[in-house]
Every structure is written in C-alpha cells, then in structure tokens.
A = this chain, B = another copy of it.
C-alpha cells in the first residue's frame, strides 16, 4: 500500500505539501497540485484512516450495540443506522449482546479504546453506569429503542401509547377479556407497554390478564406457549396482545393448533409491528413502529453530538415516535 511518503517522493515535494493538497488546506501551486494528483493516481494511494484518526482524534466510526438482529426490529434499526452513517462518511461497527450483561459490558469495554467516536445502544440496563462513564469520558452516546437512562439521549417509540391504544381499539371491537404477552419488565419498552395496557384496562373497567413462561422472550416459542397458558387459565379470552410480531406469530400458530378461528373466536394484535405482519396467511393487525426511521434519526443524532464542537455539546435529547394502528385480518 502506498503511503504519503511514496506520493511525496514521486511528486518531488514534501509530505506536508501532499497532505495540504489532498485536504485542500493551505495554498498549493496548481502545477504542484497537478503533479501530486498524478502521483496519487499512479500509486492508487489512499490515506490510512488509522493514522488520520490517531492524529486528528476522530475515527469517523460509530458502534451499534444491539441484542441481536435476526427477526427483530433491530435488523431495521441497524440497517438504517448504517446507511445514515455511511452517507455522512462514518463506518459502523456492530456488536450483538444477546442481552447478556457480560457480553454487553465486555463490548462496551472494548469501545473505550478509542475505536469509535460514538455509540448507539439498545442495552440491558445493567451497564448504565459504564455507559455514563463512557459518555463523560468524551464518547457520544444515544440510546435507541430502549431508553434506560434519562441522562443520555434517546430515540424510541412511544410504547406506552401502543399498549393503551391497542386496548382501546380491542375494546371498541367488543373485547372484554384481553390477555397480554409481554417481556422482561426490566426493559423500558416492555414495562411501558404494560403501563399503557394497565392504564387502559382500568379506564375500561377490565381485568388484567397476563402470563409468562420460561422461554426467551422475543421468540415465536414464547408467543406460542404464553398463548397456551393464557387459554388454559382463561378459556373465554377474546383478545391477545403480543408485544412483538414474532410473539404474535406464535400466538396465531397456537390458536390454529387449537382450532380457534382468528378473528372470529379471538382477536390478535401486535404492539410492535414490522414488515412481516403484512405477509402472513392471517395478516396481523399491529401498532406499527417506524423502526427504520428510528435507526436513521438515532444515527443522525449521534453524529451531530460527535461533530458538535467541544464545549458546545448539546444536552440529552429524547425523541419518541408515535406508532400507527394498521388494521389487518387478525382483529
């Protein structure tokens, strides 16, 4: 790989002149410039980003820390963030934590090494302390999907309203026994969905019906077995709310296996709709959240924080997106 020195030698100038020519900083005689560009081309020189980063204290790289990507909203978030970052000249590092605090902690630890300028994170809430340390040591941090720490910026969906609106909608369709399949209430999005659900039920004078089973939460199996359990305990259930699509898909399958007809016998709604809901044999009514937009905006917010001049860093900002109800066949 050619270096600045190679280019300088070939163009018969000093490296500093080459640097100035390439960065358009300071005057360089047009003829010299031409000679330099020629040499650059001939050697197919590309500046070493590591050396630039080391010298300038900027890496033009962000990290995205998420639990996983397969069949979750995080696939969209990561993809959108990467696109936004790329368009702004940043590279994107990815870290999957599987929601394991140990992996999360280790990954964040590695990011303390001057690798990246900022971190986009959907964390477990077990590393808030570390995250604040990173932030005060100069790294930009934006929380995405999950807001666990009010002192750090965030871009999320309004999950509480999702929960509330879903109940309201189902009640308007005549449902009176509405079960909720949710997730770890230690994580903000699940907790908020529950709060919305609970508040709405109170308003409508209905009873809370929840359940959980011993499976990973964000899965088909969880949806499937929670549905079984709900029906075992409440045979007259007339609606199921699932926190995420993949649970809703599990619910649909469980209902089919019980020969229950959707939506005739029971209605199903997802509280975090994604593209997949529209593709099912019984398409899934959902409160759709703009995951792509969330990823994009979060990356933008992060990069703006990175590029804000030292000392004029913006205070924590919290952006929340409304979900929109999309009626399909399951309700």
Residues of A within 8 A of B (CB): 1, 46-51, 53-54, 59, 61, 64, 68-71, 75-76, 78-79, 82-83, 86, 91-96, 103, 107, 109-110, 112-115, 137-138, 220, 246, 249-250, 252-253, 256, 275-276, 278-282
Contacts and interface: CB of A to CB of B under 8 A. Distances in A.
Contact of A92 (B94, B137, B253, B256): B94
Contact of A49 (B76, B96, B115): B115
13 contacts: A1-B138, A48-B114, A49-B115, A50-B53, A50-B59, A54-B54, A70-B79, A71-B275, A75-B75, A91-B110, A93-B94, A253-B279, A256-B281
A246 B1 CA distance: 42
A220 B279 contact: yes
Given A68-B79, A281-B282, A1 B114 contact: yes
B93 A91 contact: yes
Oligomer: number of copies: 2
A55 B275 CA distance: 46
B281 A113 contact: no
Nearest to A111: B91
Contact of A281 (B50, B93, B107, B281): B281
A274 to B, nearest CB: 8
B79 A96 contact: yes
